[in-house]
């Protein structure tokens, strides 16, 4: 089917309406021709540099010749653009194929290819490149990260035990500049630390980081709205970048890093297959040497290397690093107990008493513990690794004259009295023996709840037996009930006196020790 050819009258009317800013739909309706024809003639007029009003010295045949130039003679081939340079320029921000064609046409005038043919030739040239080089990403736009499927063995010199190290891989989108390192695990701390070291290696940060749906990166995989790990999100905020996880089941979203993983396995891990490593640091030293060699390796079908492309194209487009590296922080969610403390890895930290029975977010670093409620920080403490200990800010305690709490020591004792006097005695002792009564609330609640499981009668009997212990703990009473000791006679009820014989050949007696003096 041949393209529709317009009369010169309609061509001039099209140019006039186009100069007035009319839309393609309006011009198509006025001239009663298809919109595709309008698009084609507008493009040809642009390529021929024909605008309204048409110069009076141009005849209709000359206009026709400019719109539909004859093909060049076979012995006069049209000049081809430098496709490698075109491809590299396209990776710069804001550069389009239309702009590059206009620059090409300005240099070659009538000998240049039309825009449509220019695009066809460029597409054919791109088809001759390796897959890894056909990815089209703007400089400084994306960093792809993942773990290699292959691991590297590390031998413990003392025990001979072999431990498999995981291989983290990152690649920049425009330059393919590659980073790799070994870590012991794919857990969140190693995942975050690898990103920090990768950004330092690049000397900057891209606009986006594209991970796979790894558990360390994404709590809940979803094609449209993945739930990113809060620590990973905090890392992104610190480096002024955004995390865009690959869609589940969409390998093309992460094709760049999958190719980078294959290249790392081929040019980094394979050469190390016969080496024996005795430490992670030793392995990473060799990986860094081979990664630098890989980045310096010349492209097969393009000029330069990953490093040269990175230095000239990608590095200037990266965002600057923050003044300090990100400090790893773990995010938890904790409930505020009636003692206005939260439990974090076995230690108890106070928050303002007004938050009793609320839930707070906890940001945990190696040195600090922060509690946030409704996005606002409400408490901060130095981190303590003492299991069972308490860290309390006095300002978090309620004032003595305020009747603010639903739970008080007297209420706990009164509740315990319903079980029995021994239970009330135990609860009272626990509250008295703590530096602050609130620190005993959890233990008291735990003891009272044992009555729901074992019954009030057994709990009272267990408390009666435990009352003789020098130190009262929840676990002591729980152990008595678990082992059924509450069913045995109490030492208070059955005092057993052991009657020993006064004389026996194996008994020395008190006089024996006097004779030694």
What digits encode the pLDDT tens for the residues 248-279?
555 555 567 688 888 898 888 888 888 899 99
Contact of 344 with 380, CB cutoff 8 Å: no
Same domain, 156 and 267: yes
Angle at 39 between CA 35 and CA 42, to 5 degrees: 135
Domain assignment of residue 503, yes or no: no
Domain assignment of residue 512, yes or no: no
Cα first-last separation, the chain: 130
Domain of residue 112: give its range. Answer: 83-128
Same domain, 217 and 297: yes
SS3 228: strand
Domain assignment of residue 203, yes or no: yes
Q: Can you count the helices (H) and strands (E) in the chain?
A: 18, 15
Contact of 329 with 237, CB cutoff 8 Å: no
Same domain, 13 and 155: no
Residue 487: CB atoms within 10 Å: 12
Alpha helices in 20-108 (DSSP H): 24-31, 35-47, 60-67, 83-90, 97-108
Same domain, 419 and 289: no
Same domain, 163 and 87: no
| 162-172 and 359-364 strand pairing | unpaired
Kind plus residue range of the DSSP H or E element containing 307:
helix 306-309
SS3 231: helix
Inform me whether the pLDDT recorded for 18 exceeds 60. Answer: yes
Beta bridge partners of 373: 376
SS3 261: helix
When comparing pLDDT for 88 and 372, which is higher?
Answer: 372
Same domain, 279 and 159: yes
Domain assignment of residue 470, yes or no: yes
What would the mean pLDDT of 375-404 be, rounded to a whole number?
78
The DSSP code for 305 is B
User: Which of 338, 365, 396 represents a domain boundary (last residue)?
Assistant: 396
- Report the mean per-residue pLDDT for the chain: 79
Give the count of domains, the chain.
Answer: 5
Same domain, 302 and 378: no
Contact of 39 with 24, CB cutoff 8 Å: yes
What would the mean pLDDT of 409-417 be, rounded to a whole number?
76
Please give the pLDDT value at position 502: 52
Residue percentage of the chain with pLDDT more than 70: 80
Classify the C-alpha dihedral 337-340-345-346 as positive or negative: negative
What would the mean pLDDT of 36-52 be, rounded to a whole number?
82
Domain assignment of residue 364, yes or no: yes
Inform me whether the pLDDT recorded for 63 exceeds 50. Answer: yes
Beta bridge partners of 217: none
Residue 425 CA to chain centroid, in angstroms? Answer: 51
How far is CA 230 from each of CA 216, 225, 363, rounded to the nearest angstrom?
10, 14, 10
pLDDT digits 0-9 by tens, 458-478: 888 888 888 878 777 778 888
DSSP for 321-344, written as a single string: PPSSPPPP-EEEEEE--TTSEEEE
Same domain, 175 and 278: yes
When comparing pLDDT for 378 and 6, which is higher?
Answer: 378
pLDDT digits 0-9 by tens, 306-330: 899 899 889 999 999 999 999 888 8
Contact of 431 with 409, CB cutoff 8 Å: yes
Inform me whether the pLDDT recorded for 190 exceeds 80. Answer: yes
Structure token pair of residue 362 = 């906890």
Domain assignment of residue 514, yes or no: no
Kind plus residue range of the DSSP H or E element containing 460:
helix 456-466
Same domain, 310 and 380: no
Structure token pair of residue 306 = 């990953």
Please give the pLDDT value at position 169: 93
The CATH number given to whatever domain includes residue 231 is 3.30.420.10
Contact of 143 with 208, CB cutoff 8 Å: yes
E-assigned strands of 93-205? 142-147, 152-155, 162-172, 178-183
What would the mean pLDDT of 295-300 be, rounded to a whole number?
86
Instruction: Name the pLDDT band for 515 (thresholds 50, 70, 90).
Output: very low
Residue 231: CB atoms within 10 Å: 21
Inform me whether the pLDDT recorded for 153 exceeds 90. Answer: yes
The DSSP code for 273 is T
Q: Which of 124-138, 230-244, 278-292, 501-515 has the lowest mean pLDDT?
A: 501-515
What would the mean pLDDT of 424-443 be, rounded to a whole number?
74
Residue 28 CA to chain centroid, in angstroms? Answer: 51
Same domain, 435 and 303: no
Contact of 480 with 458, CB cutoff 8 Å: no
Helix axes 409-417, 441-454, angle to 10 degrees: 20
Distance CA 326, CA 242 (A): 15
Domain assignment of residue 515, yes or no: no
* Cβ-count burial 57-72 (b if 16+ within 10 Å, e if not): eeeeeebeebbeeeee
Instruction: Name the pLDDT band for 170 (thresholds 50, 70, 90).
Output: very high
SS3 504: coil
The DSSP code for 111 is G
Distance CA 345, CA 343 (A): 6
Domain assignment of residue 334, yes or no: yes
Instruction: Name the pLDDT band for 503 (thresholds 50, 70, 90).
Output: low
What would the mean pLDDT of 365-391 be, rounded to a whole number?
88
| 142-147 and 208-211 strand pairing | parallel
Same domain, 347 and 479: no
Same domain, 211 and 251: yes
How far is CA 295 from each of CA 158, 248, 317, 414, rounded to the nearest angstrom?
36, 30, 18, 74
């Amino acid at each position: 089917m041949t393209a529709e050819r317009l009369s010169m009258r309609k061509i001039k009317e099209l140019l006039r309406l186009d100069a007035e800013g009319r839309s393609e739909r309006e011009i198509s309706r006025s001239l009663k021709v298809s919109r595709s024809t309008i698009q084609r003639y507008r493009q040809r007029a642009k390529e021929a540099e024909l605008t309204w009003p048409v110069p009076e010295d141009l005849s209709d045949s000359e206009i026709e010749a400019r719109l539909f130039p004859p093909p060049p003679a076979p012995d006069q081939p049209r000049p081809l653009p430098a496709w490698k340079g075109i491809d590299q320029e396209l990776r710069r921000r804001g550069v389009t194929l239309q702009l590059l064609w206009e620059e090409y046409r300005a240099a070659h005038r009538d000998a240049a290819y039309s825009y449509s043919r220019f695009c066809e030739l460029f597409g054919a040239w791109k088809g001759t490149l390796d897959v890894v080089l056909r990815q089209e990403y703007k400089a400084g736009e994306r960093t792809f990260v993942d773990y290699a499927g292959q691991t590297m063995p590390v031998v413990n010199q003392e025990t001979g035990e072999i431990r498999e190290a995981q291989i983290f891989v990152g690649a920049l989108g425009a330059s393919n500049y590659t980073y790799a390192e070994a870590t012991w695990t794919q857990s969140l701390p190693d995942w975050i630390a690898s990103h920090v070291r990768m950004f330092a290696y690049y000397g900057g940060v891209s606009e986006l980081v594209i991970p796979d749906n790894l558990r360390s990166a994404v709590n809940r995989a979803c094609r449209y709205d993945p739930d990113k790990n809060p620590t990973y999100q905090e890392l992104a905020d610190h480096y002024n970048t955004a995390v865009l996880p690959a869609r589940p089941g969409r390998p093309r979203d992460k094709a760049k890093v999958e190719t980078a993983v294959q290249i790392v396995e081929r040019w980094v891990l394979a050469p190390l297959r016969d080496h024996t490593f005795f430490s992670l640091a030793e392995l990473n030293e060799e990986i860094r040497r081979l990664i630098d060699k890989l980045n310096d390796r010349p492209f097969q079908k393009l000029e330069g290397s990953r490093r040269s492309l990175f230095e000239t194209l990608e590095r200037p487009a990266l965002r600057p690093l923050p003044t300090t590296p990100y400090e790893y922080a773990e995010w938890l969610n904790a409930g505020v107990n009636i003692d206005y403390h939260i439990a974090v890895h076995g230690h108890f930290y106070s928050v303002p008493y007004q938050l009793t029975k609320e839930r707070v977010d906890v940001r945990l670093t190696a040195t600090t513990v922060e509690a946030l409620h409704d996005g606002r920080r409400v408490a901060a403490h130095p981190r303590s690794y003492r299991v069972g200990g308490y860290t309390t800010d006095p300002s978090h305690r309620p004032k003595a004259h305020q009747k603010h709490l639903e739970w008080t020591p007297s209420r706990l004792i009164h509740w315990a009295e319903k079980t029995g006097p021994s239970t009330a005695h135990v609860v009272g002792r626990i509250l008295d023996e703590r530096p602050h009564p609130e620190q005993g609330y959890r233990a008291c609640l735990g003891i009272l709840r044992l009555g729901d499981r074992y019954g009030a009668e057994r709990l009272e009997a267990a408390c009666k037996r435990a009352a003789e212990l020098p130190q009262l703990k929840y676990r002591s009473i729980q152990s008595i009930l678990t082992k059924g000791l509450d069913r045995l006679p109490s030492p208070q009820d059955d005092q057993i006196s052991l009657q020993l014989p006064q004389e026996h050949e194996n008994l020395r007696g008190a006089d024996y020790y006097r004779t030694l003096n």
